[in-house]
Structure 1
């Protein structure tokens, strides 16, 4: 029996499926191109999920083509595999832990929406948060499918290079600096690999010898193409460094602000869980003329999202910041300490221009800066250099009595009173903490004291407590009680709104440290605090973060307030017990909502153990699925060998079918029109069996012919089992199976 179409002779050595080689090259090229994201993502937590996603997409394509599925069906199954990977890695509501259902898809949609907010508002490099990992894996998974279609199904690997170029375009458009040089090398090698593995299909067969494949992939031509690609990529990346915008301005889309020297910018860091990374200290500003310590405000956030924390919302085009600035919206009183400060940006680069107090005139920062009186923010939507600027301001300092007597209409956007998404137990806590306070100012100071009073158990730490429910806000207020400024500011702003007081979160810096005649503000001074609205006086600063390093710049009206022992719920109000670990005693004065069955918030995926249990489950399921064909082949082999060993009727025919399957596993499919003896001779010659193997095959053929054509009462041949064993052993000597052929036996998959 001769080899079928698309096969090679056994004498040519081990063979490989060239489409599988091209699929592996396509997956490897996408993985190499993804190194470009290292220029905009601060850590490597995204790498393993991305590689798992790319590998699953490629593996699904290989399996579908091995089964000879209809090509559109292969693409459809790859899309389903990508969806399954995303729901397994980044959601908690997947059916059976890995199947995408309506709840899991809704949760995934929330994560992707949050990731888009991070891209729009963050300053590269950004931390690899779970939402951002989901977005990167989605993008790379789609690219892997597209490259697989173009390079493998359509056999046009050169065109697939354009898709890989798009992978570079995304991080290049977000990074202000040049991407890492080794990412360009990775991309060049990826393109060369694609060309080498897919460019010879017109003369390659479906199954080709390993030597031929290796010669095409690692030959002299491929090495020359790879070397030239690396050189061109490095030169291009070095020369064209002007490509790139920071892409994080609200409504700006493709514009940014920065310097070529690099620098540090702010992002609205007010998700209620996470870690504050202060691995290195960078000088940001040198300030002269500041006669009193106060906060340097860069931006304010007014929208509370229960799943993701506070967000910027409603920023308008404002007014020209180079002209005299109007009072903030809802502010009538402009009394206070006038100042003129000179601010020199050092390592700071951002579209937000930080200002002190109530700005009246800002100058020197360049053109195209805007001021939004409602948000109190100075910002730009054009790329320009960081320049020293001056600010003329009024630093308001009302007394406690003046704030207690503040009254009148609340002339600000009603969004600052929005309580949507605040859990009922948090709203109840706000009512209990402020029940005995006569004025809004007293309510605000009571809430501030709730966080700063040591007896209530809150502590400033750079790591939050592990989550114990679906609500990060409830976890912090009632159980964890440790975190950094974003947790404290976010939580107090929510409590203020629940108490009926307009609030927002401010992001910026404390006033730094004295350095000669100037003050130095560094990354260690990055901070978030709370601003509450009082009619007439406008937005007034509160800071609930219990810092003990002297970096706070509290206003006088908080310093003058007496500090009572505690600000707890009034007597007689029952307080559910706080969950404690074994051996731990409940802390006195700790309030707990007791909600153990809170409804999970959409879009939230952060868990204490991260995505790794789900990753292990995906790997386990993939291994089980991958092992199924080999397990079925082994079960069939054992059943046949037992039948042959028993020597019952039909044993010779069963042995012959097992021998044919051994040849089929090696790529040689028997032809039904040939006789048993003719087929056996073709197999002996095609695989160059040795003398012992040839004798065993011919002996088996004789037993088959006697069984099929002799009288039915003839005794079974007891030597059939030994002939089969010797024939298979000889075949293993002349043409051993590769691991791919063992894992995906053709005799099982192509029936």
Structure 2
């Protein structure tokens, strides 16, 4: 009589091994994506595709039908994760398909132009998940149906080679180890040269998968992977795909700015990050990183025509079209802290730049110092001239304009926008007076423009007209973009500059942070070249207007010779996202098999196990969110240290779950006011929100050691209850809380 033995379906073993190998190879993306938000969606995608394949084979479906089901499953997963307009949260209707297409198109731009490591934006997450899903499907067919696990290594090598060739440094060593382990398990799943039967003894399978041969293969593969990774890095493209050059960007639609660099990723962080320390700057001036000259009504402002320029390590020529080099001389020492980008920011008109390392170029036409080699920014010294013409000198600026006609291009400018520019400047006798009139139009409170980190909702297809005539609300991108278009409409060459305001003083240094990121306008005047204008109505003291513009916009006030020494107040950073939570890998689902060596295993235990594993993965974000909520509520109730800050973070997470993520630059009081208005909190909720802000400010600014308010738990519950009454969460937001997954970034 044959002894009963526990059997396992070897096709399921091969399926699991294929999915594991794909995920281990995907670990290489950790070297080019700056954060881990992509990991959970990637795991969910690969496991989902593998599970659909296993179910299709379990029910004896044909290969073509199983593959089609896997593709449909992949589409459902991508829709649920990355589309707001999905039917019932998961079904891909026409709107959701269009939204997913837009995400993938944006991801293509980010891949072509980004400098790794880049933030794992939703568009990049969608692209990674789509690619891994397709690879998981192909590997599943090769390993399970064709029974050729070694061949699947070619697909895995492609997955690994993409980030390896993009990174300028070697990928983290553990990614090579993970890839080697996954490939070794995949080879072992072939069952010792296909000697496995359809249902095999579990002990024999375990011995094959985790025996000495597999360990030896894993070790050898690890060494080969390390050497291959070093080779790919050495012959890579210095952080860019072939054909990509620094002047190519991507960004927002409409009148927004198009540049995408690692700078943009740094500016989108959830907390204030110090970028530069500057010594020696006496005259307030903007720190310019790049200028954009092309305006596309559908895409926004883009950098076009950047030349190879001249070596930035020698004395630099005057900018193109500039013959008057008079101004305030400065010698400035700039130390990058948290800044890494192919654009080297400079003040005013650079005369010489030293210390930044090799391979930096200067384009006199664009006024940009840049590199095509991805390298760390080093401390550098700039000798510059800060132009200081008088209004009278700019009014009398005459003569030819030896600059490219592209700076006057008005293609696509709506007629009503051009008419507005002419009406605003009808009484201005000179180009300088026209530029001042346009600048004043945005900064004069009587005209209704206001600075806001969110733009007004669009009402039509023309974003520029929406902003100028209806919304009148936005941040520096919208203001600089709009004024530059208006300048061209009245015949004044213009471009948009991107960089930083001068920051705040810290002893004998200036500190420039992500809060100082800014965009402004540069208009051209014969002889004097490009001069700064700033239409953004900032009220926080960060504006650094040149003397001629300050005197024209504020004729009754005397321009101080220097910015006051006191630093502008910076609000304590709002709570950033909670560090990425560890996701359980899940356990292999085992099922009892019928006794007897020849008996077939029942499909239902495996099916149920796969479903349970899938449901567990789906429930993980909600479980993590609930555990975090309970931990915080307990800490607040117990009066633990920092209880007010803990309560505030819980409120911010509740709002983020509802799609609202306040900017880190806003104070707690300003954030609270915005949330009360946005959600329409009732009287009790408004009262509780204001009491919470008082408790938070007391904890931040009062001397340490003070006990939290005794009524803090009731205050927190009052805010949360009011939020739930005013804006109850839908099912999708409960299952996939944004505060845990962080799949989407709020508008900045």
Partner of 2:313: 322
Query: Where do residues 406-421 of structure 1 align in structure 2 (5 Å cutoff)?
Result: 406-420=397-411
- Alignment of 1:293 with 2:284, yes or no, is yes
**Counterpart contact for 1:11–1:687, Cα < 8 Å:** no
**Counterpart contact for 1:452–1:458, Cα < 8 Å:** yes
- Alignment of 1:22 with 2:14, yes or no, is yes
- Alignment of 1:489 with 2:480, yes or no, is yes
Deviation at 1:277, TM superposition (A): 2.4
Q: Name which of 13, 28, 33 aligns with 1:36.
A: 28
Partner of 1:124: 116
Higher mean displacement: 229-238 or 180-189: 229-238
- Alignment of 1:504 with 2:495, yes or no, is yes
Partner of 2:605: 738
Deviation at 1:202, TM superposition (A): 0.6
**Counterpart contact for 2:290–2:498, Cα < 8 Å:** yes
- Alignment of 1:169 with 2:161, yes or no, is yes
The count of corresponding residues between Structure 1 and Structure 2 is: 564
Matched residue SS, 1:394: strand
Deviation at 1:294, TM superposition (A): 0.8
Deviation at 1:396, TM superposition (A): 1.7
Cα deviation, 1:485-542, whole Å, max 9, x if unaligned, reads: 3343334334434555432221222223344554444444333222222333322212
**Counterpart contact for 1:284–1:522, Cα < 8 Å:** yes
**Counterpart contact for 2:522–2:533, Cα < 8 Å:** yes
Rounded Cα–Cα distance in structure 2 between residues aligned with 1:442 and 1:129:
43
Deviation at 1:457, TM superposition (A): 4.9
Report the CA distance shift for 1:46/1:364 in structure 2 as closer, same or farther (over 3 A): closer
Query: Where do residues 212-251 of structure 1 align in structure 2 (5 Å cutoff)?
Result: 213=205, 216-217=208-209, 222=214, 246-248=238-240
Partner of 2:527: 536
Rounded Cα–Cα distance in structure 2 between residues aligned with 1:380 and 1:105:
38
Report the CA distance shift for 1:79/1:328 in structure 2 as closer, same or farther (over 3 A): farther
Rounded Cα–Cα distance in structure 1 between residues aligned with 2:193 and 2:462:
55
Report the CA distance shift for 1:156/1:519 in structure 2 as closer, same or farther (over 3 A): same
**Counterpart contact for 1:460–1:483, Cα < 8 Å:** yes
- Alignment of 1:279 with 2:271, yes or no, is yes
**Counterpart contact for 2:82–2:122, Cα < 8 Å:** yes
Deviation at 1:555, TM superposition (A): 0.6
- Alignment of 1:202 with 2:194, yes or no, is yes
Higher mean displacement: 273-282 or 528-537: 273-282
- Alignment of 1:354 with 2:345, yes or no, is yes
Cα deviation, 1:697-722, whole Å, max 9, x if unaligned, reads: xxxxxxxxxxxxxxxxxxxxxxxxxx
Cα deviation, 1:18-54, whole Å, max 9, x if unaligned, reads: 3343233322332343233234334444345434543
Matched residue SS, 1:19: helix
Deviation at 1:356, TM superposition (A): 1.9
Higher mean displacement: 409-418 or 89-98: 89-98
**Counterpart contact for 2:113–2:244, Cα < 8 Å:** no
Matched residue SS, 2:361: strand
Matched residue SS, 1:277: coil
Cα deviation, 1:640-683, whole Å, max 9, x if unaligned, reads: xxxxxxxxxxxxxxxxxxxxxxxxxx999xxxxxxxxxxxxxx9
Matched residue SS, 2:394: helix
- Alignment of 1:339 with 2:330, yes or no, is yes
TM superposition score normalised by structure 2: 0.62
**Counterpart contact for 2:83–2:100, Cα < 8 Å:** yes
Cα deviation, 1:536-566, whole Å, max 9, x if unaligned, reads: 332221222333332222111221114599x
Report the CA distance shift for 1:69/1:538 in structure 2 as closer, same or farther (over 3 A): farther
Partner of 2:568: none
Instruction: Say what the alpha-carbon RMSD is for the aligned residues.
Output: 5.0
Matched residue SS, 1:361: strand
Report the CA distance shift for 1:94/1:402 in structure 2 as closer, same or farther (over 3 A): farther
**Counterpart contact for 1:342–1:390, Cα < 8 Å:** yes
- Alignment of 1:549 with 2:416, yes or no, is no
Report the CA distance shift for 1:393/1:132 in structure 2 as closer, same or farther (over 3 A): same
Greater C-alpha radius of gyration: 1
- Alignment of 1:376 with 2:363, yes or no, is no
Rounded Cα–Cα distance in structure 2 between residues aligned with 1:108 and 1:417:
36
Matched residue SS, 2:607: helix
Deviation at 1:315, TM superposition (A): 1.0
Deviation at 1:55, TM superposition (A): 4.3
- Which structure has more relative contact order (CA 8 Å, sep 6+)? It is 1
**Counterpart contact for 1:85–1:98, Cα < 8 Å:** no
Deviation at 1:59, TM superposition (A): 4.7
Matched residue SS, 1:359: strand
Matched residue SS, 1:561: helix
**Counterpart contact for 1:13–1:735, Cα < 8 Å:** no
Query: Where do residues 563-602 of structure 1 align in structure 2 (5 Å cutoff)?
Result: none
Matched residue SS, 1:352: coil
Q: Name which of 519, 527, 537 aligns with 2:518.
A: 527
Report the CA distance shift for 1:211/1:272 in structure 2 as closer, same or farther (over 3 A): closer
Deviation at 1:455, TM superposition (A): 4.5
Q: Name which of 387, 392, 396 aligns with 2:387.
A: 396
Matched residue SS, 1:353: coil
Q: List gaps (5 residues or longer) in structure 1.
A: 1-8, 256-265, 566-665, 669-682, 689-733, 745-751
Cα deviation, 1:351-376, whole Å, max 9, x if unaligned, reads: 32222222233344444332212211
Rounded Cα–Cα distance in structure 1 between residues aligned with 2:51 and 2:182:
18
Cα deviation, 1:216-235, whole Å, max 9, x if unaligned, reads: 44567656766887799799
Cα deviation, 1:91-150, whole Å, max 9, x if unaligned, reads: 78999996697x988876665454343334434332333432333234323432443343
Report the CA distance shift for 1:14/1:368 in structure 2 as closer, same or farther (over 3 A): closer
Matched residue SS, 2:519: strand
**Counterpart contact for 2:113–2:245, Cα < 8 Å:** no
Report the CA distance shift for 1:181/1:443 in structure 2 as closer, same or farther (over 3 A): farther
